[in-house]
Structure 1
Amino acid sequence: LNIHGFRSCGENAKAAFLRELFPGVRIVSPTLPFSPRNALEVLEKEIEGCGERLEMIVGSSLGGFYAYVLCCRHRVPAVLLNPAVVPFVHLAEAIGPVENACTGEKGTWGAEDCLALKELFCETAYKAESALVHVFITADDKVLEPRLARAFFRFHGNLVELPWGTHRFEGLDRLSAKIRTIYEGAR
């Protein structure tokens, strides 16, 4: 299961990377609605409806936060790429009209969306099994403060700090072996 970030879409570079890395493995990467509650509903339906055991979740940015929530709920390994740690804080700046950068879909991001993220944070903070949480943060992430992820995941999960890359996580192929090892360990 691949989960995209805020204002992105399911058909993204990370989904393509995962399909190339795992040929023959079904990679589900839905385009999510803006609403956190609706997004998690879509993700839960994907998990329930896939007919197979979920083996790994990959999420980036806000999708990394959702992946952490699902890791807590389903006890499945999660690979978090520059995850939003406190998205209700990060996305408070986005309150107002929003547009999906891939699809052009327009919507509204409201205070209730930030409150929904805060509730999810309170529900799940430090509740995932550390062995299931694999966090990769890049040094040059200018969108999310790497310091927050470093502090949150330093003693809770497997944290890897990379000296290269931006928020978009260019060069993801450099992590192919690590991600494959996480996947193989889940099987």
Structure 2
Amino acid sequence: MPYLMYLHGFNSSERSFKSNCIHDRLKKLGLSNSYLMPRLSWEPNQAIIQASRLIESHLSEGITLVGSSLGGFYAGYLAEKYAINAILVNPAVSAHELLVDYLGDQVNPYTQEEYQLTTEHIAQLEKLDAPMTSVERYWLMLQEGDEVLDYSKALSKYPDVRLTLEPLGDHSFVNFERHINNILTFSKLL
């Protein structure tokens, strides 16, 4: 049985709305054991190590990533590293440029974890910026009303991939739950 792994965004958690929607659907189908939703470290290199270990332990069964925002950035890197499929939801395609505005003290509102984002972490993100090598590997999900990220940057980085582009919406991807059955089909869980 293949696996689906959710990668959450910056200052989010594994229990985000989108992750919970997927988990609830898989639970109803009796497939909750096929869902991985790690709490990723705020430090980029650590987050990649955590995700890589999970991917490697399930690679032989097949694994698809769903990444939102910064998790979408990580999913792009990991999809290339492991030649696996990834669904990118309003991804932060230039994370190292975006997060410069957040340097300094941080508190994750979901976990209450306190930390300091530094230029070293920005440099780690820059090293993870991987070019796409296979259009078949990706599904890009964007909403034009994203108030955090410019959706056109994701269109430029991931041309010719499977695309869901919706007008309006926001960074959270409004009405995400409408797409869960298609996500499960793309992930070979349905």
Normalised by the length of structure 1, the TM-score is 0.90
Q: Which residue of 1 aligns with 2:178?
A: 174
Structure 2 CA distance for partners of 1:181 and 1:89, relative to 1, 3 Å: same
Match status 1:55 vs 2:63? yes
**Alpha-carbon distance in 2 for matches of 1:91, 1:80:** 18
Superposition map of 1:1-187 within 5 A: 1-23=5-27, 24-25=31-32, 26-50=34-58, 53-121=61-129, 124-127=130-133, 129-155=134-160, 157-184=161-188
**Alpha-carbon distance in 2 for matches of 1:126, 1:29:** 24
| 1:58–1:67 CA contact under 8 A, matched in 2 | yes
Query: Deviation per CA, 1:23-81, whole angstroms, max 9, x where unpaired?
Result: 31421111111110011011112223458624210000000011111110111110100
Please state whether the residue corresponding to 2:106 is helix, strand or coil: strand
Q: CA RMSD in A?
A: 1.8
AA aligned opposite 2:135: S
| 2:18–2:177 CA contact under 8 A, matched in 1 | no
Q: How many residues align?
A: 182
Range 16-25 or range 109-118, more displaced? 16-25
AA aligned opposite 1:107: Y
- For residue 151 of structure 1, report the CA deviation from its aligned partner: 1.5
Q: Where in structure 2 are there 5+ consecutive unaligned residues?
A: none
Normalised by the length of structure 2, the TM-score is 0.89
| 2:67–2:91 CA contact under 8 A, matched in 1 | yes
Range 102-111 or range 40-49, more displaced? 40-49
> Segments of 4+ in structure 1 off by > 4 A?
none
Structure 2 CA distance for partners of 1:182 and 1:51, relative to 1, 3 Å: closer
AA aligned opposite 1:76: I
